[in-house]
Amino acid sequence: AEFFYEFQTLRSMDLDIMDNPTVNVPLLGSVPRRPSVVQVGFPCLGGQDGVAAFEVTILVMDAGGNIILRTPHNAIFFKTCQRAKCPGGCRNGGFCNERQVCECQDGFYGPHCEKALCSPRCLNGGLCMSPGVCICPPGYYGDGCDK
């Protein structure tokens, strides 16, 4: 018996992170009688890291056009794309400049803008959680854990 396949859906739901999936075979064709490899590509786009959702739907039909296998409808898959120009990406609203260095928003610093800046700095083992906000260890309090 001869069987046919059809890729009904190949789409990215996050086109700013990942382009639509690609396949190395026609979208409609006959199922080979011998094992073969079908490659599906999930190309990351842009200069940002992220997780992209995508949908792939395939039908397999007999020679009469009757569907004998259908991938689940509304099956959503995910792929992580790591394409940021700055290795590791920029956090807390920072952006990657043309020299591939993170430029941080006010109140943050570090290679990935991952560190908050507290002024005055946190004392007595206090931890700067966000700009100007110290988390004080037991026994200390105040804006800079100085009391």
CA dihedral 26, 28, 34, 35 (to 10 degrees): 70
| pLDDT class of 48 with cuts at 50, 70, 90 | low
Please give the pLDDT value at position 83.
60
Q: Give the pLDDT confidence of 3-45 residue by residue, as tens digits.
A: 999 998 899 998 888 889 999 999 999 998 888 878 888 888 7
Closest CA to 58 of 69, 50, 66, 48: 69
Count of the separate structural domains present in the chain: 3
One DSSP character per residue, 57-70 reads: EEEEEETT--EEEE
In this structure, are 65 and 44 located in the same domain?
yes
In this structure, are 8 and 63 located in the same domain?
yes
In this structure, are 128 and 95 located in the same domain?
no
Inform me whether the pLDDT recorded for 49 exceeds 70.
Answer: no
Tell me the C-alpha distance between 77 and 61, whole Å. 24
CA distances from 101 to 16, 89, 111 (A): 21, 9, 7
Q: Give the pLDDT confidence of 81-130 residue by residue, as tens digits.
A: 766 567 777 888 888 887 778 888 888 888 888 888 888 889 999 998 88
- Domain housing 134: 122-147
In this structure, are 72 and 128 located in the same domain?
no
Establish how many alpha carbons lie within 13 A of residue 94's alpha carbon, considering only the half-sphere containing its beta carbon. Answer: 26
What is the residue-averaged pLDDT of the chain?
Answer: 85
